[in-house]
């Protein structure tokens, strides 16, 4: 059996290991990506970046592609409804100096799908192929594709989609093991990942879906035979999951994360957001992260209530004192 923790080659880029942070809109900004990399993630991916926004020169869109301070591999996730839009964005995307481009064909959010982008492209694998080809031609960078198993249970077509992507030059494929219609429940069908890898044994296959702990990550790698995994929701409030997964893969004991360590990481996270957004906006943005960081900690309800209105770093510090 192959080593479960190993370097992964995506085009001309090689990662140090096989445990990645998935792209998540509203969460994987450069601050959170940097924190996850510090905690052992081998690669991170930006929030979804609109090709149309880049082509139009939108400052907010372009800012999403800013590299994190410790981000050696900048992997930018793009979305667009067609190859022409993707092609028009290439010049602007390249100004961010990315190492890899990931194209989203899996987002199920209505405002994205209704434009013909995200999961809507699962209905048109040929267009996915055209998009991959366009990005490869215009940028010369490795291109990966993020998909789901299909639009719904009546149209499971991930093998066709994968074949179209790979035949047009995709360097890797990530699959969330659910259909678009399933959104995020019920359980992800990991057997589809096994089948995908068996059908494309020489291609880089990355899996996601229902990875909420280090044990989940190890189990997915062992059960499916895929090359790498991506933590998404399981990393929110728990960037420690990367070093925990690596410890288990090395046969070591699962590292325990103390309340003090979580508090320290919350403040590092908040300080980073403050530098990026300013104190008031950062404190608002941090609320959703803190609730996740505090999950499972006794007597944290009062802290969550206090930070729900916090607008300064000092207010966060005062709230977190309740835990010590």
- C-alpha dist (Å) from residue 125 to 95, 153, 201: 29, 17, 20
Q: pLDDT digits over 114-166, tens only?
A: 999 999 999 999 999 999 999 999 999 999 999 999 999 998 999 999 999 99
First to last CA, the chain: 46
CATH label, 8-249, candidates 3.40.50.880, 3.40.50.720, 3.10.20.30, 3.20.20.70: 3.20.20.70
Q: For the whole model, what pTM was predicted?
A: 0.95
Residues with catalytic function: 107
> What's the rounded Cα separation, in Å, for the pair 313 and 322?
15
pLDDT at 186: 79
**At residue 185, does pLDDT exceed 80?**
no
- pLDDT, tens only, 13-48: 999 999 999 999 999 999 999 999 999 999 999 999
Q: What is the mean pLDDT of residues 108-114?
A: 93
Q: Which residues pair with 207 in a beta bridge?
A: 175, 229
- Please give the Cα distance from 138 to 262 (Å, whole number): 43
Tens-digit pLDDT profile for residues 188-225: 999 999 999 999 999 999 999 999 999 999 999 999 99
Structure tokens at 92: 């602007």
Distances (CA, A) of 198 to 105, 148, 165, 172, 224: 21, 17, 16, 15, 9
| Residue 5: φ, ψ to 5° | -110, 110
In this structure, what token pair is assigned to residue 209? 């879906």
CATH topology for 259-323 is: 1.10.1200
> Can you give the residue ranges of every domain in the chain?
8-249, 259-323
In this prediction, residue 2 carries a pLDDT of: 59
């Amino acid at each position: 059996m192959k080593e479960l923790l190993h370097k992964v080659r995506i085009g001309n880029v090689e990662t140090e290991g096989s445990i990645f942070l998935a792209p998540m809109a509203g969460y994987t900004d450069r601050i959170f990506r940097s924190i996850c990399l510090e905690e052992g993630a081998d690669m991170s991916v930006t929030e979804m970046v609109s090709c149309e926004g880049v082509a139009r020169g939108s400052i907010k869109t372009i800012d999403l592609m800013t590299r994190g301070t410790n981000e050696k591999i900048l992997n930018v996730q793009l979305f667009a409804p067609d190859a022409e839009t993707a092609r028009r964005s290439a010049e602007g995307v390249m100004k961010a100096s990315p190492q890899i481009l990931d194209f989203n064909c899996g987002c199920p959010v209505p405002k994205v799908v209704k434009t013909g982008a995200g999961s809507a492209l699962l209905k048109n694998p040929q267009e996915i192929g055209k998009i991959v080809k366009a990005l490869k031609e215009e940028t010369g960078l490795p291109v990966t594709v993020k998909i789901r198993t299909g639009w719904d249970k009546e149209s499971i077509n991930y093998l066709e989609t994968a074949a179209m992507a790979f035949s047009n030059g995709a360097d890797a494929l990530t699959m969330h093991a659910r259909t678009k219609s399933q959104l995020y429940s019920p359980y992800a069908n990991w057997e589809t990942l096994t089948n995908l890898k068996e059908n494309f044994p020489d291609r880089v296959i990355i899996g996601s879906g229902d990875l909420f702990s280090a044990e989940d990550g190890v189990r997915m790698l062992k059960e499916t035979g895929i090359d790498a995994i991506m933590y998404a929701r399981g990393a929110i409030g728990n960037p420690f999951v990367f070093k925990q997964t690596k410890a288990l893969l090395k046969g070591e004991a699962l590292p325990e994360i103390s309340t003090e360590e979580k508090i320290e990481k919350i403040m590092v996270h908040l300080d980073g957001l403050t530098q990026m957004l300013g104190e008031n906006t950062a404190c608002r943005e941090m609320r959703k992260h803190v609730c996740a960081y505090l999950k499972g900690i006794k007597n944290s309800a009062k802290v969550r209530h206090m930070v729900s209105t916090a607008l300064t770093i000092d207010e966060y510090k005062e709230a977190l004192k309740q835990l010590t």
